[in-house]
Structure 1
């Protein structure tokens, strides 16, 4: 797993969702993103999908894929790493 990408995504999640009371290290790689300690809901996921598409040119175009991708920070980083054009894993 790309630790740099994990750290980058932690910061982008905090910035995108205005989670200013959350430190990046508080977002555990294997903890659930949705319904977990961060309080991320379906509206937040839509914001994250737009950020991922804009910043990484990666599409998350259906609910089933989104559920798998946003299961945890680790699954999100894996999907982004594998699908970002020009990114080497």
Structure 2
């Protein structure tokens, strides 16, 4: 599990979103760290949010449960990476 937000973690999260949400037309470099994931250009829907949350739990052991927590964590790659690091650090 990560103990700090790194460029590698952010890249892995971008790739995970591309894979989980069938955004094959994108590459990780197309997604900015502070770009809005919800309600932004990525056009993610509620099913995408669920898939991302499940993938984060599987890959990082971090649970993002509830609409409010998901909205907060999935504001951007920055907030998602921060959520993972905060919840995986003892």
The match for 1:47 among 43, 47, 51 is: 51
CA distance in structure 1 between the partners assigned to 2:41 and 2:65 by the alignment:
26
CA RMSD of aligned residues (A): 1.4
CA distance in structure 2 between the partners assigned to 1:63 and 1:76 by the alignment:
14
Consecutive unaligned residues in structure 1, runs of 5 or more: none
Consecutive unaligned residues in structure 2, runs of 5 or more: none
Check if 1:76 corresponds to 2:80: yes
The match for 2:7 among 3, 8, 18 is: 3
The match for 1:24 among 28, 33, 43 is: 28
After TM superposition, the score normalised by the length of structure 1 is 0.89
Aligned residue-pair number: 86
After TM superposition, the score normalised by the length of structure 2 is 0.88
